[in-house]
Amino acid sequence: MSVGKTLTIARRELGTYFNSPVAYIVISAYLVASGALYFLQVFLIKEATLRDFFAVQPLLFIFFAPAISMRLLAEEKRSGTVAMLFTLPLDDWDVVIGKFLAAMSVMGVGVLLTLAYPITISRLGPLDWGATIAGYVGLLMMGGAYIGIGLMASSWTKNQIVAFIIAFIGSFGLYLVGKLLPLMPASLAPMLRYISLDTHFANIARGVLDSRDIVYYLSIIGGCLFLAKQSLDSRRWR
Partner 1 sequence: MPQTMIEVKDLAKDYGLVKALRGISFEVPAGEVLGFLGPNGAGKTTTMKILTCFMAPTAGTATVNGKNVLDHSLEVRRAIGYLPENTPIYTDMTSLEFLQFICSVREIPHNQRKKRIRELAEVCGLLDVLAKPIGDMSKGYRQRVGLAQAMLHDPPILILDEPTSGLDPNQIVEVRELIKEIGKEKTVILSTHILPEVQATCGRVIIIADGKLVADGSPDQLAAGQSKNSYRVLIDPDKNEGSPYRGGNGSLVRALSVKLESIKGVKSVKESGGEDDAIGLLISADGDADLRREIARCARDNGWLLLGMQRHHATLEDVFRRLTGKKASSAPTKLESTKPKAEDEDGEKDSGAVSASESKADEKDERDADAEADVKVDADKADADKADADKPDADKADAEEDEAVEEEKKEKSK
- Summarize as ranges the residues that interact with partner 1 (CB under 8 A): 4-5, 8-9, 12, 15-16, 19-20, 79-84, 86-91, 235-238
Question: According to DSSP H, which parts of the chain are helical?
Answer: 3-19, 21-45, 51-69, 71-79, 81-85, 92-113, 116-124, 129-155, 160-179, 189-195, 197-205, 211-233
Rounded distance between C-alpha atoms, residue 180 and residue 183, angstroms: 5
C-alpha to C-alpha distance for 96 and 20, rounded to whole angstroms: 21
Minimum gap (Å) between residue 103 Cβ and partner 1: 16
Q: How far is the CB of 102 from partner 1 (least distance, A)?
A: 13
Distance CA 158, CA 173 (A): 23
Q: Which is nearer to partner 1, 43 or 237 (CB)?
A: 237
Smallest CA-to-CA distance from 233 within 94, 92, 95 is with 92
Instruction: Indicate the residue among 19 and 211 with the shorter CB distance to partner 1.
Output: 19
Q: Are 216 and 194 in contact (CB under 8 A)?
A: yes
Q: Which is nearer to partner 1, 10 or 67 (CB)?
A: 10
User: What is the smallest separation between the CB atom of 2 and partner 1, expressed in angstroms?
Assistant: 8
Which residue, 63 or 93, is less far from partner 1 as judged by CB? Answer: 93
Q: At what angle do helices 197-205 and 129-155 cross, to 10 degrees?
A: 160
Closest CA to 48 of 105, 108, 127: 127
Q: Which is nearer to partner 1, 94 or 213 (CB)?
A: 94
Single-letter amino acid code for the residue at 91: D
Under DSSP, the state recorded for 70 is T
71 versus 200: smaller Cβ distance to partner 1: 71
To the nearest whole angstrom, how small is the minimum distance from the Cβ of residue 80 to partner 1?
4
- 28 and 70 in contact (C-beta within 8 Å)? no
Q: Minimal distance in Å, beta carbon 189 to partner 1?
A: 44
Beta carbon of residue 76, minimum distance to partner 1 (angstroms, whole number): 9
132, HSE (Cβ side, Cα atoms, 13 Å): 18
Q: How far is the CB of 235 from partner 1 (least distance, A)?
A: 5
Q: Which is nearer to partner 1, 39 or 86 (CB)?
A: 86
Helix count and strand count (H, E) for the chain: 12, 0
